[in-house]
Amino acid sequence: MPDKPIILNKTTVAKSRLFRIESLDIQFSNGELRNYERLARGNPGGAVLIVPMLDNETVLLIREYSAGVHRYEVGLPKGKTDVNESFLEAADRELKEEVGFGARQLHHLSSFSLAPSYLEHTTEIVIARDLYPEKLMGDEPEELEVIPWQLSNINNLIASGKCTEARSIAALFMTIEYFKNL
């Protein structure tokens, strides 16, 4: 593989409360110059997606409003990692805020990127086990519905059209594989 390209210049071309668009002047190892735009990471701490396991067969999903598609979506709890917080601490906090449980066991399953060609964002995928009831106040505008779901029935969830988020779907299938190998 050639050497990784060098970013010669990085400029913010647009910014909102949630997003920042950067223009990157890049030089490739063969001397070629290109300009790329990317949606830059808004939160330096990153993000987490939690797979809360009630037992080895039952995952706890949430139903919440998703503004991007303007509908309620069923998926896994998720959130940002706050400053000075590890992603495992963020996973446990988000679990308490969104699902009403804490976890005695947290396992880092994987890291996901969404669209690495133009999006800087990555998400840490964490399996939460040995759950116990504990509720923290979150930032959601309404109470989230918690839905216990059997991992063996994930295909029916996806076929229903109620769960369309790729991160949740991929994490659920990776969790099934994880439990097969325990």
| 11 is a domain residue | yes
1 found inside a domain: no
Instruction: Report the alpha-carbon distance of residue 177 to residue 48 in Å, rounded.
Output: 20
pLDDT over 90 at 121, yes or no? no
Q: Would you say residue 176 has pLDDT above 90?
A: yes
pLDDT interval class at 145 (50, 70, 90): very high
The answer to whether residues 31 and 121 belong to one domain is no
Question: In this structure, are 116 and 84 located in the same domain?
Answer: yes
Q: Could you list the residue range(s) of the whole structural domain that residue 136 is in? A: 47-180
Close Cβ partners of 106 (under 8 Å, ≥ 6 residues apart): 88, 91, 92, 126, 127, 128, 129
Q: Tell me the average pLDDT across 18-35.
A: 89
Q: What is the CATH number of the domain that holds 122?
A: 3.90.79.10
Q: What is the mean pLDDT of the chain?
A: 92
Contacts of 84 (CB under 8 A, 6+ apart): none
Residue 152 has what pLDDT?
94
Q: Are 24 and 38 in contact (CB under 8 A)?
A: yes
| 3-state helix, strand and coil shares in percent for the chain, rounded to the nearest 5 | 20, 45, 35
CA nearest to 35, candidates 20, 47, 23: 23
53 shares a domain with 35: no
The predicted pLDDT at position 75 comes to 97
User: Can you read off the two tokens belonging to residue 55?
Assistant: 């037992």
Sign of CA dihedral 58, 171, 46, 128: positive
Q: Which of 63-72, 78-87, 117-126 is predicted least confidently?
A: 117-126
Answer yes or no: do 28 and 96 share one domain: no
The answer, as to whether pTM is greater than 0.85, is yes
119 with 93, same domain: the answer is yes
Q: Contact, 56 vs 49, CB < 8 A?
A: no
Question: Is-contact 52 172, C-beta < 8 A?
Answer: no
Is the predicted pLDDT of residue 43 greater than 70, yes or no? no
Domain count along the chain: 2
